[in-house]
Amino acid sequence: MIREGILSFTSEERQALILNALKIIFFTSLLSLSALIRIPLPFTPVPFTLQVFIVALSVLYLGRLSTVSTALYLLIGAVGIPVFSGGTGGLAHLAGPTGGYLYGFVVGAFIGGLISERGGIIYKTLSLIIALLIIYLCGCFHLILIYRAVLKTAITLGAVPFVVADLVKIAMSLGIYRTIGKIM
């Protein structure tokens, strides 16, 4: 049944399907690699990584398909493959201090991707800012849940230290997208 469905696609549809699958695999791989660069900060349980940069690029290049890329990343890590920050994996990591940010990658990628698909640099910029806010919201909410932190503490530990660096990552991803263009 599935085979008949795929075979009934036109050549262009099959080509688009394969290209999208390759893009998803590419950005899932980049997200996995970006987590290996981890800088622990002494004042927060959340480390500095390049993951927001890769999520931003995936939103720009994949649109709503970035949801699949980030969800696949979470699934790969959840089954124990060491793709999370610092080369860790497993369900316990999703329950740890960075778990909310990981979930936020998926939600942020979906909402950001939908907005990004509207086209134009203003929508693309807005999509990344909204995606970042969603990632922070999920991350801080998770910190409140697991540490029983008050909102102010969660924001102080889980968002404030990263705002400037994450805005730079967003600017860099927009610069790459505008310079290289939509090559994918």
- What is the architecture, at CATH level 2, of domain 12-180? Orthogonal Bundle (1.10)
Could you give the CA distance from residue 161 to residue 91 in angstroms, rounded to a whole number? 26
Could you give the CA distance from residue 176 to residue 156 in angstroms, rounded to a whole number? 30
Residue 172: per-residue pLDDT: 97
pTM: 0.92
pLDDT per 10-residue tile (average), the chain, 184 residues: 65 91 98 94 91 98 97 98 94 93 98 96 97 98 93 95 97 95 66
Domain ranges of the chain: 12-180
Residue 4: per-residue pLDDT: 61
Residue 9: per-residue pLDDT: 80
